[in-house]
Structure 1
Amino acid sequence: MPDQFGSTIHLAEVSRRSAVILVFFPFAFSPVCGDEVRALDDLGQTLAAESAPIEVIGMSVDSKYTLAAWSSERGLRLDLGSDFWPHGEVAKSYGVFDADHGVAERGVFVISQTGTIVTSRQVARTETRDFSVDVAQARALRG
């Protein structure tokens, strides 16, 4: 899937290098998503600097251009995957696509280096997530 920087995110390749925290959110430029993305960006930088890094990837159905504008406006370094076309295909594959509204739900998946989903959870669209439980699960994968 494309990211906001013009590169392609290959989740299978990323998960071979490190554990992954994959975070779905409905839309860029929306209130709750804006609150969360700053925390995710900081968290991603912290986890990437650890001796056994953990990759944090955000994902929405926004176009890569929308994600690029949002990323630039907020000064983000976090990879944001665009699940724009085919619309919501990745979110559908993880079971977090709301077809009635055409958006990804607020799902979080911790993925091991073997590509196995270790934990997953979903919260209401209006709820801001605390990612500490996901970080603990990803760190536990290191042994």
Structure 2
Amino acid sequence: MTSSTPLRPGDVAPDVELLDTHGTPLRLTGLRGGAVAVVFFPFAFSGTCTQELCELRDNLEDFEQARVRLLAVSCDPVHTLRAWSEQQGFTFDLLSDFWPHGEAASAFGVFDGDRGLARRGSFLVDADGIVRWSVVNPPGRARELGAYRAALAGLA
């Protein structure tokens, strides 16, 4: 069963808690007061996901200059995300939505229950917890860096 409709601009971001690559819980509402980009991706170590997240890694200064914290989320287990992060040199947060499986992706409306993965959804959430921009791409289609840049510029 595929998830419901993805969150849209104007929606309140859900209060989800996920584990980082060291098993430390991170609660989205605990980050209020600062903007965050929540980037869901299907699987660590896969081709399109690696391409997308490496592009974000290589352009992290765009997020830093806009004072937006980048959070990348998949249904992979913590240990898988840690190994991938170390291999790729990611310096932003990778968060595990492994258990309860897909709970955060479901809350954002991007969980594909038939396949057990998060669809390619990105959400820019402002300091008050309101979604200001979102995009969801079909399987295999990477998100455009230019779209992130335009969204970051619009947040200012």
Name the TM-score, length of structure 1 as normaliser: 0.89
Q: Report what 2:96 is aligned to.
A: 82
What residue is the counterpart of 1:72 in the other structure? Answer: 86
User: Partner residue of 2:20?
Assistant: 3
1:23 to 31, 39, 55: 39
The 1-side partners of 2:149 and 2:38 are apart by 11
AA at the equivalent of 1:9: L
Kindly state the Cα deviation for residue 92 of structure 1 after the two structures are TM-superposed: 0.3
CA–CA distance in 1 between the matches of 2:144 and 2:30?
27
1:56 maps to which residue?
70
RMSD, matched Cα: 1.5
Q: What is the total number of aligned residue pairs between the two structures?
A: 139
Structure 2 length-normalised TM: 0.82
CA contact 1:107–1:120 (8 Å) conserved in 2:
yes
Structure 2 residue ranges without an equivalent (≥5): 1-17
| Residue 10 of structure 2: aligned partner | none
- Structure 1 CA distance for aligned equivalents of residues 152 and 53 of structure 2: 19
